[in-house]
Amino acid sequence: MAEIQLSDALVARLRERGLADRELLLITDDGGGKYSLQGGACSIGTKFTLIVLDAPDPDYPVTLRNDAGLHLHTSDYDLIFLGPGLAMDYANGAISLKDNAHALDASVRIATGQEVLAAFERGILLEGATC
């Protein structure tokens, strides 16, 4: 089990949006994952998204333990990009993610898992990236 520090401001924002009691995934948004909206070869490990689900996804079995008690998970693949001292904050209208060694993403997105999967099924490319 991995750990993540969530700021009070982030937890308050998630509560405001009704997301604090939902299943949340922290994904590396690199264009290759099940819920990946953006990214590609040149952006691997630089973009992250919180995916909101109605139920746990067995493809994301790693619990990110946090003091707020949020149901936050990731995958073994995503852990490759998340180092010790992992922390998320909300300030100036944006969610940031960092660890002890890096500022990982200054603008973490939030997306609904069902909507992402439905868009993929319809063949809609939500956002692409090139190098």
**Between residues 25 and 47, the one the model is more confident about:** 25
Q: What is the pTM of this model?
A: 0.88
Alpha-carbon distance of 36 to 49, in angstroms, equals 8
pLDDT 10s digits, 29-40: 876 678 887 655
Look at residue 130 in the predicted model and tell me its pLDDT. Answer: 42
pLDDT 10s digits, 68-95: 999 999 999 999 999 999 999 999 999 9
Mean confidence (pLDDT) of the chain: 87
Residue pair 53/110 in contact (Cβ under 8 Å)? The answer is: no
Burial of 39 (0-12, 13-18, 19+ CB in 10 A): buried
Q: Dihedrals φ, ψ of 44, to 5°?
A: -60, 130
Please provide the distance, in angstroms rounded to a whole number, between the alpha carbons at the two ends of the chain: 34
Residue pair 102/95 in contact (Cβ under 8 Å)? The answer is: no
Structural domains for the chain: 2-121 (2.60.300.12)
Q: To which residue do tokens 């090139």 refer?
A: 130
**What is the average pLDDT across 24-51?**
77
Q: Dihedrals φ, ψ of 121, to 5°?
A: -60, -35
